[in-house]
Amino acid sequence: MKRHWLLFSQTVTVLLAAWFVVATLKPHWLAQRPSLASVVPVFQIEGDQRSPTIASASLSAAARAAAPAVVSISTSKAVRHPHAQEPWFRFFFGDRPEFEPQTGLGSGVIVSPAGYILTNNHVIEKADEIVVQLSDGRQAPAQVIGTDPDTDLAVLRIALDDLPVIVLGRSELLEVGDRVLAIGNPFGVGQTVTAGIVSALGRSQLGINTFENFIQTDAAINPGNSGGALVDAEGHLVGINTAIYSRSGGSMGIGFAIPIATAREVMEAIVRDGAVTRGWIGVEPQELTPELADHLGLPGAQGVVVAGVLQDGPAAQAGIRPGDVISRVGDTPVRDVAGLLAAVAARQPGVATEVEVQRRDGRRTLTVIPARRPPPSAR
């Protein structure tokens, strides 16, 4: 009996020693392997269908719905070389053509079966030739229907049949945090889809356009994406990608898109009238700060300061003068420069409207007859 007990104790001692060595040197040998049942629910593939977990997080349906309507736009124009005809230049560099071709690249979105395409004005500005390429490989020359430099929008038209058309969404219903996709042709590599969220709404005073109300997104937007689509999780167009904030020339997670609500109004005006008609009164507006309000003797005033008035312009003829604070245009209260520009632009040229101003001696209501807003070159 004593002999059996000794043998048992030695066996247990050896097994414990072996377990200790393995646990110390090879602990993964003792780790419990996950069962097949614990892996299958995450990566399970049933036929050609993905699991609900993966499918619910995917934006592939939105990309499939929107991508066919996003096109690549190639432009070319002849640029005159400033020194081509100068003798010293010809002596060092030889005879060179006076005009040299310059090419550009951007994107656009087909918004109508009739072939209308929305894009950015800066994509096609001063182009001699514009060629549109669809995602299915078809190409066609484009006609410029009209442009609106104040919002950096342009409307093109191509003559092709069976065009894919994107569904227009409602940008006014967007909220910060909504998922969005940016679709375009960055750097000419081909159609590319990037994902992100709505980072902010109503971005203005960026110095990009005259009228600014941008959607900010962190979806990657790069050169070549200009004029492309910003779509929601259902694949509906909610914005036209326009600009990025970048120190490197590439995406840094801050991109801006023109809301489709603005783009739709501009497009309808261009298709109907060939141009966008806006009101204009000829003032140079400036933000009203508390310090400036105190300096003007109007503490607590709200509105926009008139920094300058165009001689013989509509505002000057109505009696508006530098130093006035505009607080209302028609029935629209004015709180900032963007609000003043929008309120004046919405007025019908030639139709009198009331403008409320504040001065040291009190409030006054003046009658202004807006003129038609001139193009940027004339201003």
Q: Name the active-site residue from 72, 74, 107, 122.
A: 122
Last residue of a domain, one of 157, 182, 201: 157
Q: Which domain holds residue 135?
A: 64-157
Last residue of a domain, one of 157, 184, 207: 157
Contact 312, 333 (CB under 8 A): no
List the Cα angle 93/97/102 in 5-degree steps: 105
Q: For residues 105 and 79, state if they share a domain.
A: yes
77 is a domain residue: yes
Q: Name the active-site residue from 148, 150, 152, 232.
A: 152
Q: For residues 83 and 151, state if they share a domain.
A: yes
Closest CA to 81 of 93, 97, 103, 104: 97
Q: Is 135 a catalytic residue?
A: no
Q: In the predicted model, what is the mean pLDDT of residues 61-73?
A: 95
Q: Name the active-site residue from 74, 199, 226, 327.
A: 226
Closest CA to 107 of 66, 150, 78, 149: 66
Which segment of 199-213, 219-233, 351-365 scores lowest on mean pLDDT? Answer: 199-213
What pLDDT shows up at residue 81?
56
Q: What would the 3-class secondary structure string for the chain be?
A: CHHHHHHHHHHHHHHHHHHHHHHHHCHHHCCCCCCHHHHHHHHCEECCEECHHHHHHCCHHHHHHHHHHEEEEEEEEEEECCCCCCHHHHHHHCCCCCEEEEEEEEEEEECCCCCEEEEEHHHHCCCCEEEEECCCCCEEECEEEEEECCCCEEEEECCCCCCCCCCECCHHHCCCCCEEEEEECHHHCCCEEEEEEEEEEEECCCCCCCCCCEEEECCCCCCCCCCCEEEECCCCEEEEEEEECCCCCCCCCCEEEEEHHHHHHHHHHHHHHCCCCCEECCEEEEECCHHHHHHCCCCCCCCEEEEEECCCCHHHHHCCCCCCEEEEECCEECCCHHHHHHHHHCCCCCCCEEEEEEECCEEEEEEECCEECCCCCCC
Q: For residues 230 and 187, state if they share a domain.
A: yes
Contacts of 277 (CB under 8 A, 6+ apart): 269, 349, 372, 373
What pLDDT shows up at residue 362?
86
Measured distance CA(65)–CA(59) in Å, rounded = 10
Q: For residues 303 and 356, state if they share a domain.
A: yes
311 is a domain residue: yes
Q: For residues 231 and 153, state if they share a domain.
A: no
Residues in the chain: 379
12 is a domain residue: no
CATH number of the domain residue 90 falls in: 2.40.10.10
Q: Cα dihedral sign for 211, 213, 217, 219?
A: negative
Q: In the predicted model, what is the mean pLDDT of residues 291-304?
A: 85
Flag whether pLDDT at 175 surpasses 80: yes
**Residue that wins the pLDDT comparison between 59 and 251:** 59
What pLDDT shows up at residue 37?
36
Flag whether pLDDT at 41 surpasses 50: no
Q: For residues 210 and 293, state if they share a domain.
A: no
Write down the pTM of the prediction.
0.73
**Which residues make beta-bridge pairs with 65?**
none
CATH number of the domain residue 361 falls in: 2.30.42.10
205 is a domain residue: yes
16 is a domain residue: no
Q: In the predicted model, what is the mean pLDDT of residues 183-193?
A: 91
Q: For residues 177 and 264, state if they share a domain.
A: yes
Q: For residues 244 and 293, state if they share a domain.
A: no
Looking at the structure of the chain, the number of domains it has is 3
Q: Is 136 a catalytic residue?
A: no
50 is a domain residue: no
Which segment of 39-43, 95-99, 352-356 scores lowest on mean pLDDT? Answer: 39-43
Token pair belonging to 343 = 């309120």
Token pair belonging to 337 = 């420069």
Q: For residues 267 and 286, state if they share a domain.
A: no
Confidence of residue 121 (pLDDT cuts 50, 70, 90): very high
Confidence of residue 40 (pLDDT cuts 50, 70, 90): very low
Measured distance CA(88)–CA(92) in Å, rounded = 6
Confidence of residue 291 (pLDDT cuts 50, 70, 90): confident
210 is a domain residue: yes
Measured distance CA(191)–CA(201) in Å, rounded = 26
What pLDDT shows up at residue 20?
65
56 is a domain residue: no
Q: Alpha-carbon Rg of the chain, whole angstroms?
A: 32
Confidence of residue 21 (pLDDT cuts 50, 70, 90): low
Last residue of a domain, one of 243, 273, 303: 273
Q: For residues 305 and 219, state if they share a domain.
A: no
Confidence of residue 11 (pLDDT cuts 50, 70, 90): confident
pLDDT tens across 251-277, in order?
678 999 999 999 999 999 999 988 888
**Residue that wins the pLDDT comparison between 7 and 328:** 328
**Which residues make beta-bridge pairs with 305?**
286, 325
Contact 158, 115 (CB under 8 A): yes
Contact 70, 135 (CB under 8 A): yes
Q: For residues 83 and 125, state if they share a domain.
A: yes
Q: Compute φ and ψ for 214, nearest 5 degrees.
A: -75, 150
Q: For residues 68 and 152, state if they share a domain.
A: yes
Q: Is 122 a catalytic residue?
A: yes
